[in-house]
């Protein structure tokens, strides 16, 4: 097995060198990495062919094969995305705050790289290039651990990226890939204390849980979204229908899609038949509480339904007697990702905003907007669902730490 201490030391040393680079140098490296991807299209495609063949032999579903498969166009598009990161503002070095103390000390709070970032992800090989680019832009070294399905593709992509880094005069160990794909390797990476400053798992609930339970390095949990849309008694029904249809059905497999619809009982008889029709036209299967099923046709929703992140064309519906009851339901089942209220009543909207504990809380908009691109961050390494450090979409800025720089003239206590 890889000696993870050596891997960690190499990453830490590369991080030290990266941290000393200016924006221009890091952007040159990104362009060089992008060019290297294009120069190695053939090698990457033939490595990818191996992964696809193995997946087909294993009887992998067509949807999964599609996530795995690279084409020349996809590689060129990955390379172009990398070049776009050049244009994003560099957060490193930004003075977040400065203040002087009565004793004459000048204190600056400055954005600095995190150091070494570990990424554990499943399947899609484009994450390898995306994550590496975001890390280099923020002067972080990265240790990548992709899924076994994409291992040949990842190795080929990573080799190309390292060559690009090296050609730009930066340490190739700024990007490293763990080539073992077993749990022991995952575990070793999660426990690289003193080397990994931040670990980001991206994948299903199982991966996230395994990481949180086993990691000894700091972790940011990402991407579990049991999101709710609450239709208040003062909702505009048309807005409500279009928001729930969008939040549920525009792309049901993503974390910011809605899973449960809560409806105030005063509006339920008016709202539910219209919503049900639109949702069923969009192919959504409905599960409902007793009161819901008195108004529209739906299968029975049990406790388990409210807990489930369906990631599919399925929606749980519950009629609630009050906004407070909606808030209690959300507090009980929310994964702290994105929650929304539809109401024309400003007081109710403010009441809701102040009482929901989630990364993003919406008034009269779809939860589908919780996304780095939609927030204008330009890029995104993941969506945090914990409260420490970063919440919601994590862009370049969220991949940095800060430090205090204090200038004195001999001060002592």
* Look-up of token digits 């961050």: 377
Q: Helix or strand or coil: residue 67?
A: helix
* Look-up of token digits 């619809």: 261
Q: Which stretch binds a copy of itself (CB under 8 A): 127-135, 271-279, 284-292, 396-404?
A: 396-404
- Write each residue from 202 to 231 as x if it is in contact with a copy of itself (CB under 8 A), else as -, in one continuous string: ----------xx--x-xxx-----------
Q: Which stretch binds a copy of itself (CB under 8 A): 51-59, 226-234, 300-308, 359-367?
A: 359-367
Q: Are 167 and 59 in contact (CB under 8 A)?
A: no
Q: Are 130 and 81 in contact (CB under 8 A)?
A: yes
Query: Among candidates 168, 184, 67, which has minimal Cα distance to 127?
Result: 67
Pairing, β 314-320 against β 382-384:
unpaired
Q: Are 161 and 146 in contact (CB under 8 A)?
A: no
State the number of binding residues for a copy of itself (CB under 8 A): 69
Query: If 0-12 CB within 10 Å is exposed, 13-18 middle and 19+ buried, where does residue 263 land?
Result: buried
Please count the CA atoms within 13 angstroms of the CA of 241 that sit on its side-chain side: 17
- Write each residue from 78 to 117 as x if it is in contact with a copy of itself (CB under 8 A), else as -, in one continuous string: ---------------------x-x---x-x----x-xx--
Pairing, β 106-113 against β 95-100:
antiparallel
Query: Among candidates 164, 20, 16, 153, which has minimal Cα distance to 82?
Result: 164
Q: Are 284 and 249 in contact (CB under 8 A)?
A: yes
Exactly one of 362, 379, 380, 383 binds a copy of itself (CB under 8 A); which one? Answer: 362
270 phi/psi in degrees, rounded to 5: -80, -45
Binding of a copy of itself by 359 (CB under 8 A)? yes
Q: Helix or strand or coil: residue 310?
A: coil
Instruction: For the segment 20-39, give every residue that binds a copy of itself (CB under 8 A).
Output: 20
Instruction: For the segment 135-154, give every residue that binds a copy of itself (CB under 8 A).
Output: none
Q: Which stretch binds a copy of itself (CB under 8 A): 31-39, 169-177, 291-299, 346-354?
A: 346-354
Instruction: For the segment 325-344, give every residue that binds a copy of itself (CB under 8 A).
Output: 331
Exactly one of 14, 78, 198, 396 binds a copy of itself (CB under 8 A); which one? Answer: 198
Instruction: For the segment 375-394, give every residue that binds a copy of itself (CB under 8 A).
Output: 375-376, 386-389, 391-392
Q: Which stretch binds a copy of itself (CB under 8 A): 48-56, 274-282, 304-312, 405-413?
A: 405-413
Q: Which stretch binds a copy of itself (CB under 8 A): 75-83, 146-154, 241-249, 311-319?
A: 241-249
Binding of a copy of itself by 303 (CB under 8 A)? no
Long-range contacts for 206-210 (Cβ within 8 Å, ≥24 apart)?
Answer: 207/120, 207/122, 210/186
Q: Which residues bind a copy of itself (CB under 8 A)?
A: 12, 16, 19-20, 99, 101, 105, 107, 112, 114-115, 193, 197-198, 212-213, 216, 218-220, 236, 238-239, 242-243, 245-247, 250, 331, 349, 353-355, 357-366, 368-370, 374-376, 386-389, 391-392, 401-413
């Amino acid at each position: 097995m890889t000696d993870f201490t050596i891997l960690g030391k190499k990453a830490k040393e590369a991080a030290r060198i990266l941290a000393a680079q200016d924006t221009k140098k890091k952007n040159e490296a990104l362009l060089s990495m992008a060019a290297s991807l294009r120069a190695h299209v053939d090698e990457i495609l033939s490595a990818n062919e191996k992964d696809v063949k193995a997946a087909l032999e294993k009887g992998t579903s067509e949807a999964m094969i599609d996530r795995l498969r690279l084409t020349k166009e996809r590689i060129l598009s990955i390379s172009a995305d990398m070049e776009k990161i050049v244009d994003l503002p560099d957060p490193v070095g930004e003075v977040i705050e400065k203040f002087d103390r009565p004793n004459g000390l000048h204190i600056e709070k400055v954005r600095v790289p995190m150091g070494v970032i570990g990424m554990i992800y499943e399947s899609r090989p484009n994450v390898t290039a995306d994550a590496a680019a975001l890390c280099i832009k923020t002067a972080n070294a990265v240790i990548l651990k992709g899924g076994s399905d994409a291992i040949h593709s990842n190795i080929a992509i990573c080799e190309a990226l390292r060559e690009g880094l090296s050609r730009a005069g930066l340490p190739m160990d700024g990007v490293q890939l763990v080539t073992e794909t077993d749990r022991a390797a995952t575990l070793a990476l999660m426990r690289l204390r003193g080397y990994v400053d931040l670990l980001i798992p991206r994948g299903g609930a199982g991966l996230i849980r395994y990481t949180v339970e086993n990691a000894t390095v700091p972790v940011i949990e990402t991407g579990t979204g049991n999101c709710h849309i609450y239709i208040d008694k003062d909702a505009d029904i048309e807005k409500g229908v279009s928001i729930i249809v969008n939040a549920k059905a525009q792309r049901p497999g993503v974390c910011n899609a809605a899973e449960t619809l809560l409806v105030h009982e005063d509006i339920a008889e008016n709202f539910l038949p219209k919503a049900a029709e639109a949702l069923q036209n969009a192919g959504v299967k409905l599960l409902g509480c007793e009161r819901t099923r008195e108004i529209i046709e739906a299968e029975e929703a049990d406790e388990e339904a409210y807990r489930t992140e369906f990631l599919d064309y399925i929606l749980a519906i519950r009629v609630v007697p009050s906004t407070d009851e909606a808030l209690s339901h959300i507090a009980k089942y929310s994964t702290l990702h994105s929650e929304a209220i539809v109401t024309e009543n400003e007081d109710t909207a403010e009441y809701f905003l102040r009482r929901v504990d989630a990364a993003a809380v919406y008034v009269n908009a779809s939860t589908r907007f919780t996304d780095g691109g939609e927030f204008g961050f330009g890029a995104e390494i993941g969506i945090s669902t914990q409260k420490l450090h970063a919440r919601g979409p994590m862009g370049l800025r969220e991949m940095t730490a800060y430090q205090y720089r204090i200038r004195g003239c001999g001060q002592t206590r």
